[in-house]
Structure 1
C-alpha cells in the first residue's frame, strides 16, 4: 500500500537499528494474540542461521520516531536473536489514520491471516476511533461486511446516547446493546463467545497441548477421552472432520 495523498512522501526503504523502533500494539496490532510463539521461534531460528527477514513496515511519526505498523513477529524474533545490525524497513510518512489503514492492509496480506473475530474487533475499533472513516473505508480496510459495519455504527450511536463506555470488543458491544446476557444470541455473538473461550483455554493449556501433540498424539487423545464425555468427544471429532478435506488421514 502506497499513500498517494498530496504532500505525503512515498515509502522509503532503509535500515534502522532495533532500538530505534517501537511498538504500539493498542493502535497497530489487530490480532487477539500480539505474537504467536511458534512463529516467532521459527523466525528467530532463521535469523540465527544467517537469513534476513522481509522488511518491516514502519510509520515515521516525527523526527526519529519510528513505530512498527506491520512486523511484530519479526521484531520479536530479532529481539530474541539479540540481533545487533540495522534491520531492513519500509518507512511511511503519513497521518496516523493512514498508518492505521496501512496496518490493516498489511495484515490482510500476511501468512497468518486474521480470524473473523479479529476482523470484527478491528472494524469495531475503527468505528469507535476518532479517525472518522466512512463505512466504505472501514469495510475495505477490514473485510467485514457492509451490513455488520452499519450495525456497528448504529451500536456505537446507541451506546453513546446512553452514555455507556464503549467496550473494547464487538462481542462485548453487542452484549452491552442487548442489555442482558440471557437474551437469544445471533450467529455473530455465538462466534465471539466461542473465540473468546477458545483463547482463554489456549492461554491455559494450548502451548503444552501443542507440544505433546507433536511428540505423542496418543497421549493427547487419551486425556481428551478421560476428560470429555463420549458425546462431546464425538462432537469434537465431527467438527474437525467438517473443517478439513475428506481425504485427510486422521490418526484416530
Structure 2
C-alpha cells in the first residue's frame, strides 16, 4: 500500500504549471565549430547511428544551432506535459537525436522530449541516437526533422529558417540549392531568390554585423533605415497599448475575477493561457558550473 501511495504522489507532481525546459547554453554555430575543431583527433565514444544511453548531465541544448522553432512559442507545453506523464506510465520515450561535441552531446531533435524528462524529474538514462555527419549536415538534419515534426512550424519560423540557411552560404557559393532550401523550409522560390539577393547586397556593401540580422532587420538595413530599423519591442508595446485601450473602452473588467478572465481567454483560444504563462516565466542564464540536486547542469 505504501509503495502504491508513493507512486501516486510521484505522478501527481507532474502538472501543466510545472513545465521545465533545459537551459540553453546560448552557443552559436561558431562556438560549436570551434569545439569540434579542438577535438578533431579525439576518438569517438560511440559508433555513429548507435542507440546509446546518456546521463542528463551530459546533454546540452544550443537553440541557435539546432532548434529552428521560436522557443517562446508554447502550444508545446501540452505536448511536453503529456510526454512527461508518459515517462511515468511507460518509461523512456523514443530516442532523441544528438551530435557528439567534445565530451558532451547536443540535442538535434528531441528538445520537447528532453523537456519532458526534466519536467517528470527523470532519474534514469536517456536513450539517444548518435549523429555521424558534419556540423553543416547536422544543422540541416535538425531543420529537416523540425519541418516534419508533429508540431508544425509557424510562418515566421519558416521564414527565419530560410533566411538562416541562406546566411550559411556566401554569394555564389550556396551550400543548398534553391530546391533543397524549399524542401527543408517550405519557402517559395521567389522568397529564396529575394533572400539570396539581399545577402549578396549585404556582403557587397560591407555592412557590419550582418550575421546576426533577422530577415526583417536585413530588409530595413538595405532600405537605408538603419536608424529607423524595426524595433520589435516597441512594436509589441504599441500594439499592446492599443489592445489595452480597446479593452478599457469596452469596459471589460479583466482583473476583478482572474478565474473568470482565465476561463474566458481559454474559451477564445485554448492555448492562450499556456502561452501567457510561458511568456511571464523567467528563464535562467546558462551556467555550466551550476548543478542541481540531481547533478544536472540545467
TM-score past 0.5 threshold: yes
Q: Say which of 8, 12, 15 aligns to 2:50.
A: 12
Deviation at 1:18, TM superposition (A): 1.3
Q: Which protein, 1 or 2, shows the higher relative CO under an 8 Å CA cutoff with sep ≥ 6?
A: 2
**Residue 54 of structure 1 aligns with which residue?**
94
Q: How large is the RMSD of aligned CA atoms in angstroms?
A: 3.5
**Residue 18 of structure 2 aligns with which residue?**
none
**Residue 72 of structure 1 aligns with which residue?**
111
Q: Say which of 171, 185, 195 aligns to 2:216.
A: 171
**Residue 132 of structure 1 aligns with which residue?**
175
CA distance in 2, matches of 1:67, 1:17: 12
Deviation at 1:136, TM superposition (A): 3.0
**Residue 113 of structure 1 aligns with which residue?**
152
SS in structure 1 opposite 2:199? helix
**Residue 144 of structure 1 aligns with which residue?**
187
Q: Say which of 145, 161, 174 aligns to 1:122.
A: 161
Segment drifting more, 79-88 vs 166-175: 166-175
SS in structure 1 opposite 2:70? coil
Structure 2 residues not aligned, in runs of 5+: 1-46, 241-253, 269-298
Q: How many residues align?
A: 194
State whether structure 2 residue 67 is matched by structure 1 residue 24. Answer: no
Deviation at 1:57, TM superposition (A): 1.2
SS in structure 2 opposite 1:216? helix
Relative to structure 1, is the Cα distance of residues 149 and 40 closer, same or farther in structure 2, using a 3 angstrom cutoff? same
Once the two structures are superposed, the pairs formed by residues 188-203 of structure 1 within 5 Å of their partners are 197=236
Deviation at 1:93, TM superposition (A): 1.1
**Residue 237 of structure 1 aligns with which residue?**
none
Segment drifting more, 47-56 vs 73-82: 47-56
Relative to structure 1, is the Cα distance of residues 51 and 197 closer, same or farther in structure 2, using a 3 angstrom cutoff? farther
Deviation at 1:16, TM superposition (A): 1.3
CA distance in 2, matches of 1:115, 1:46: 26
The TM-score normalised by the length of structure 1 is: 0.65
Structure 1 residues not aligned, in runs of 5+: 1-8, 182-188, 202-207, 222-252
CA distance in 2, matches of 1:79, 1:218: 28
Deviation at 1:213, TM superposition (A): 8.1
Q: Deviations over 1:63-102 (max 9, x none)?
A: x331100111111121222212111112111100110111
Q: Retained in 2: the 8 A contact 1:213–1:220?
A: no
Deviation at 1:39, TM superposition (A): 2.9
The TM-score normalised by the length of structure 2 is: 0.56
Relative to structure 1, is the Cα distance of residues 212 and 125 closer, same or farther in structure 2, using a 3 angstrom cutoff? farther
